[in-house]
Amino acid sequence: MRQLVSFDKLKLTNNQLDDNGHIILNSMHRYQPRLHVVYLPGEGQSSTTCTSSFQDEDVRTRYRTFVFPETGFTAVTAYQNHRA
């Protein structure tokens, strides 16, 4: 990988009518973020001529999912950060 994965701009809301591109969550529900990494062939490469370690695998298995248990959280209606 050539660069970091960053979620600095990720915005969460409980507003079902949000049209700002925020991720809509339900208050008082527990969530566990997951990171899915999916292999895509490079430009000019098809999935059948790929030379990666995924070459012999079925297209449906060309991904990995990572779960970090410490990132689980419960959504709330309002969060007040008194340090900001």
Domain spans in the chain, listed from the N-terminal domain onward: 10-33+69-84, 34-67
Q: According to the model, what pLDDT value does residue 34 have?
A: 95
CA distance 82 to 28: 21
Q: According to the model, what pLDDT value does residue 71 have?
A: 94
For the CA atoms of 43, 49, 50, 55, the dihedral, rounded to the nearest 10 degrees, stands at 150
15: Cα separation from own chain's centroid: 20
For the chain of 84 residues, list the mean pLDDT of each consecutive stretch of 10.
81 93 95 92 64 55 91 89 72
Q: According to the model, what pLDDT value does residue 48 have?
A: 55
Q: According to the model, what pLDDT value does residue 6 have?
A: 83
Tell me the chain's radius of gyration from C-alpha atoms. Answer: 18
Q: According to the model, what pLDDT value does residue 60 have?
A: 60
> E strands, the chain, where?
12-13, 23-24, 30-31, 34-38, 63-67, 73-74
Q: According to the model, what pLDDT value does residue 53 have?
A: 54
